[in-house]
Amino acid sequence: MKAFICTFMTLALVFSMTACSSRKSETPSSSAEPSSSFESSSAPPVSSIAPSSEPSSSMSKPEIVEDIESGASNLKSTVESMVTPTMSTDFDKIGALDAAQVKWGPGVQVDEQNRTVGSEMMQEQYGRFDAYFIAPEDCGKLYLTFDEGYENGYTPQILDVLKEKQVSAVFFVTLPFVKSEPELIQRMIDEGHVIGNHTSHHWNPTQKSLDEAAQDIKELHDYMKDTFDYEMSLYRPPEGAFSEQTLAMVQQMGYTTALWSFAYADWDPNNQMGYDKALERTCRFIHEGGIYLLHAVSKDNAEILGELIDNIRDKGLTVSKWDLS
């Protein structure tokens, strides 16, 4: 598409110059004698935007052709810069938004559809920033997401279960995890999972300047692109911390923010609740449109995952690949 636009505009520019030059050669000059050659035409240079009050020096054909080519090259660069997407980090317009920190946790209060009430309220309040706390109640889906700060030996088992159950999940990774576990990252990509941006340093974004918080995202984004040719587009804020300003920043960078409608105390490897309690807890809150946050360092999560997926399906829901945007 870019090539077509550039070619079209270049041809238009050449025809315009030819027509302009032709009219100049046919129009009487300021002297009594009409111009008899193209070389003696007083047409302004192609690069000129506004007509000069002084007549320009005459130009030879090679000079005009060279100037046309130069103008076409500049035009092509301009068009390409207009249609090539870039990760914006100009946050001047965000300053008017609220900078107050919100730390998210959905709570346990549910409605008649078993959907966490807090998630629905937050979705209504912050959804305009391309942020998701919960999916629509009539979607028929539930989404599994895993946070990966470091590898504790359970990610391969989790991937095995997902493959067996033919489920695609989201893995929110940090830069240290990506650098230390390239084979797991490649496996996630190869097996059709979504890899989300959990930042480079796991900083609370509301405790940094917008530029610093953006760089924390961009560093991981660029590393994934350069190393795995993978374009990240989904973001989860460390600590579940955000503000209107940080949500708008992430949105401006071309990302969708994924929070969650269910999580539980699974992040401490030394304080696991055991198979039965973990399964009961995760199954109790199954709901349509659910976005589940699970930590991959958890032994409980690795062990209950297959049965959890079965329970979700038994309730008539699809364990879906991320498709919210």
Residues with catalytic roles? 147, 295
Query: Is residue 105 within 8 Å of 263, Cβ to Cβ?
Result: yes
Enclosing H/E stretch for 146: strand 141-148
Measured from the Cβ of residue 292, the count of other Cβ atoms closer than 10 Å reads: 24
Angle among Cα 26, 29, 34 to the nearest 5 degrees reads 60
Q: CA triplet 155, 157, 162: central angle to 5 degrees?
A: 95
- Pair type for strands 102-103 and 241-242: antiparallel
Distance CA 264, CA 305 (A): 14
Among 138, 120, 111, 119, CA closest to 317: 138
Which whole-number Å values give the CA distances from 140 to 16, 165, 315, 318, 323, in the listed order?
Answer: 57, 18, 10, 6, 13
Tally of CB atoms within 10 A around 171: 24
Q: Which tokens is 85 given?
A: 């997407």
